[in-house]
Structure 1
Amino acid sequence: MRYKNIKKGRFLGRPNRFIAHVDLNGEEAVCHVKNTGRCKELLIPGESVVYIEDHGEDARRKTRYSLIGVEKGNLMINMDSQAPNKVVKEWIAQGGFLPGITLIKPEKKYGDSRFDFYLEQGDKKIFMEVKGVTLEENGVAMFPDAPTERGIKHMEELITCKENGYDAYILFVVQMAGMKVFKPNDRTHPAFGEALRKAKKHGVEILVKDCLVKEDELKIAGTLPFEL
C-alpha cells in the first residue's frame, strides 16, 4: 500500500490519543493520529522525526494531516493501525498466504467477535485476526504495547473457531524491518501472552510477517520467527 503527499516533520506533542501537533517547516500542524496506542517510546516531544500524509483541503476532514510514520534511531516504523489489514488483504489476494483463495471477506462476525478476515480455499474455511506491531526492543518485536482485553477475547474466540471445524490464524504484522524475533510482551500484559500460548496449544496458527517500510509505502516482506 502507498500513501500520497508525505511530508517530514518533528513531533511536538499529543494532547489526546487522536491528535498530534507536528512542527512542519516552522509551522505547527495538527494531525490525526492513526494509532490509538500509547506509543510513548516512539513519540518523544521535540525529538521524534515523524512523517505525515497531507490530504489537502478536504471539507470532510477535521484535520488536513495524518501521522503515519516515525523514525526510531535508524528504524523507520509505520504506526498507521489501519495499514496492517490493508497490506494483509493485498498479500492474500496476491497468493502470499495460501494459493487458490476463493473468498476474502473482511470484518466477519463470529460468536461475540468480529475477525479481520474470513477466507475460503475450496472446502477449507478460515478465520484470521491481524495485529499490527510497532513496539521493539533491541531487535525484538513485541505485542501489545498496552494491555488489550480485546486481544485476549480474540484468542479465546479463535480457539472456539478451531474447535468448531474452522482453520484459525493470528497474524502479527511487524510494521518495521530488521527485527530478529517476535515475542508476546509478557512484561506489559502477561495475560495476553498466556492467551496466545493457550491458543497455539489448541491449534490456532501463529504467523509473524515483517515489512518493507518506506516513508510512503508498506509491504509485507518475509516471515519472522517467534518465541512464546
Structure 2
Amino acid sequence: MHYDNIRRGVFLARPNRFIAHVALAGGASGPDGFVICHVKNTGRCRELLVPGAAVYLQESGNPARKTKYDLIAVEKGTGETGRPPAAGVSRLINMDAQAPNKVFQEWAESGHFLPGLSLLRPETTWGNSRFDFYYEQSLKGDGAGTEQTYRRGFVEVKGVTLEEDGAVRFPDAPTERGVKHIEELMACRDAGYEACLCFVIQMTDVDYFSPNDRTHPAFGRALRRAAAAGVRILAYDCAVTPDSLALRAPVEVRL
C-alpha cells in the first residue's frame, strides 16, 4: 500500500491518544510549522512517540476534516528519550492501525496466503463474531465426478509496533477485545472451520515475535491455547518506507 502527500516532521507532544502536536519540516502550516494531527493508532506507543522523534505525516485533501494530517510512521531511536536499536541507528515503524488489514489483503490476494484462493471477504460476521476476513480455497475433485470441496476459514489480523532489542510483542496494552477474538477463532475451529491469527509487524529485520505476557498475561495464555487447538499463528514483518508498507517475510513465533 502507498501513501500520498507525505511530510516529515518532529514529534512534540501527544495530549491524548487521538492527536499529536508536530513541528513540520520545511514549511509552516502554523506558528513555526506547528500542526495538530490525527494519530492513526490508539495504542500507548510510549516508546515511539517521544519528544524530538522524527515522524511522517500524510496530508489530507479533505477540507472538512478537523485535522489536516495523519501521523503514520515514526523513526524509533530519534528524539530526546528514544532508545536506538543495537546497531545504533533509527528504525522506521509504520503506526497506521488500519494498514495491517490492507497489506494482508494485498498479500493474500497475490497468492501468498493460500495458493488458488477463490474468495477473500473482509469484515465477515459468523454467529456473534465479526472477523477481519473469511476465505475459501477451492479443492479440485479427483477428475471422476468428485464434488468440488473447499477449505474455509477466518482470519484475524493484528498490527505490531512494540519492539525491544529485535524482539516484537503484542499487545502494547491490555486488550480484552484481543482475548475475545482468540476465543472466537477457537470456536470457529470447533465448528469445523480453519482459523488463523496473523500478526503484521509494522517494521523490518526483527528476530522473533512473542505475546506480551508482562503487559497482558491473559492474552498470552489464550494465544497458547489457540495454537494447541489448531489455530494457525502467523507473524510477518513488513518493508517500510515513509510512503509505503508491504508484507515481506515470515518471522519466528515463540509462544
Q: TM-score range by the shorter chain?
A: over 0.9
Equivalent residue runs for 1:43-192 within 5 Å: 43-45=49-51, 47-56=52-61, 58-73=62-77, 74-122=90-138, 123-192=150-219
- Residue 53 of structure 1 deviates from its aligned partner by 0.5
Q: Does 1:38 align with 2:44?
A: yes
- TM-score between the two structures when normalised by the length of structure 1: 0.97
In structure 2, C-alpha distance between the alignment counterparts of 1:32 and 1:13, rounded to whole Å: 12
Partner deviation per Cα, 1:127-148 (whole Å, 9 max, x = no partner): 0000000000100010000000
SS at match of 2:63: coil
Residues 104 and 120 of structure 1 are in contact (CA less than 8 Å); yes or no, is this contact kept in structure 2?
yes
In structure 2, C-alpha distance between the alignment counterparts of 1:83 and 1:100, rounded to whole Å: 24
Give the partner amino acid of 1:48.
A
Give the root-mean-square deviation of aligned CA atoms.
0.9
Of 24, 28, 34 in structure 1, the residue corresponding to residue 34 of structure 2 is 28
Partner deviation per Cα, 1:151-207 (whole Å, 9 max, x = no partner): 000110000000101000000000000100001000000110000000001110000
SS at match of 2:100: helix
Give the partner amino acid of 2:40.
K
Partner deviation per Cα, 1:76-102 (whole Å, 9 max, x = no partner): 000000000000000011001011111
Residues 70 and 76 of structure 1 are in contact (CA less than 8 Å); yes or no, is this contact kept in structure 2?
yes
In structure 1, C-alpha distance between the alignment counterparts of 2:154 and 2:9, rounded to whole Å: 39
In structure 2, C-alpha distance between the alignment counterparts of 1:188 and 1:206, rounded to whole Å: 20
Structure 2 partner of 1:216: 243
Unaligned runs of 5+ in 2: 26-31, 78-89, 139-149
- Residue 60 of structure 1 deviates from its aligned partner by 3.1
In structure 1, C-alpha distance between the alignment counterparts of 2:91 and 2:203, rounded to whole Å: 7
Structure 1 partner of 2:86: none
In structure 1, C-alpha distance between the alignment counterparts of 2:170 and 2:24, rounded to whole Å: 31
Give the partner amino acid of 1:63.
T
Structure 2 partner of 1:5: 5
- Give aligned-pair identity as a percent: 58
Structure 1 partner of 2:29: none
Residues 129 and 169 of structure 1 are in contact (CA less than 8 Å); yes or no, is this contact kept in structure 2?
yes
In structure 2, C-alpha distance between the alignment counterparts of 1:172 and 1:75, rounded to whole Å: 19
Structure 2 partner of 1:17: 17
- Residue 17 of structure 1 deviates from its aligned partner by 1.0
- Residue 5 of structure 1 deviates from its aligned partner by 1.0
Which of the pair has more CA radius of gyration?
2
Unaligned runs of 5+ in 1: none
- Residue 54 of structure 1 deviates from its aligned partner by 1.0
In structure 1, C-alpha distance between the alignment counterparts of 2:208 and 2:222, rounded to whole Å: 19
In structure 2, C-alpha distance between the alignment counterparts of 1:172 and 1:107, rounded to whole Å: 17
SS at match of 1:80: coil
Residues 111 and 157 of structure 1 are in contact (CA less than 8 Å); yes or no, is this contact kept in structure 2?
no
SS at match of 1:156: helix
Structure 2 partner of 1:197: 224
